[in-house]
Amino acid sequence: MNTPGADDLNQLMQRLLAFRSRIPAQLLKNVKTGTALILEPDDAARATLAELIEQMGYRVFSVKTIEEARKTADALRDLSLVVSVPRPRGDDDRSGLEFLSQLKTRSPNLIPILSVSFAESEDAVGALRQNILGFFIKPYDRDEVLRNLGDLLYLYDRTNYLVRLLADVDALVTGWESRLPSAK
């Protein structure tokens, strides 16, 4: 397999610069940061999921209990994505699935996602019946979560997803442009 040389990188950079020049400036000024809420009792799983969702351009709030999730959801006006486990800890007898369903009813544009372990797969089937749009299976596989989240964001928030994606490309090209002397 041939490794790319300086000419190949230069051609790639020129193509990226040409692509970036066709992105309307007004479009990039309208990048809207989404807000996500994660309800996950496990510290490590919550941190992993928060990192992945932040990579997708979201401002993330993470909580351990359903009570904290309810308070956080009530305080946030622009909540656009919620990920919950089926059985979070707390005194409240509502399940994470019921919590997601109630949030979806209150905010129709919200993207609710259930986070399940393999042993909780029956909860994933129940989630689909309650209009929960998707689910992640633990332990989280980085590529699978990013792909599934990308698919959901594209399907349910297409415009904002594409604008954020173009803004990410613009930021990458700008960073490379400053480091590659041939790009200037």
Longest Cα pair distance anywhere in the chain, in angstroms?
Answer: 63
Say if residues 42 and 87 touch (Cβ distance below 8 Å): no
pLDDT given for residue 172 in this prediction: 86
CA distance 83 to 56: 14
pLDDT given for residue 62 in this prediction: 95
pLDDT given for residue 61 in this prediction: 96
Helices (H), the chain: 6-21, 25-29, 43-55, 66-75, 96-106, 121-129, 142-156, 158-179
Q: What is the CA radius of gyration of the chain?
A: 20
CA-wise closest residue to 56 among 77, 35, 75: 35
Tokens (6 digits) for 142: 């980085």
pLDDT given for residue 181 in this prediction: 63
Specify the CATH superfamily of domain 33-183. Response regulator (3.40.50.2300)
Place of tokens 């000024």: 29
pTM for the whole thing? Answer: 0.72
The amino acid occupying position 123 is D
Q: Where are the domains of the chain?
A: 33-183
Low-confidence ranges of the chain (pLDDT < 50): 91
pLDDT per position as a tens digit, 89-138: 654 555 777 888 888 888 888 888 877 775 555 555 555 555 666 777 78
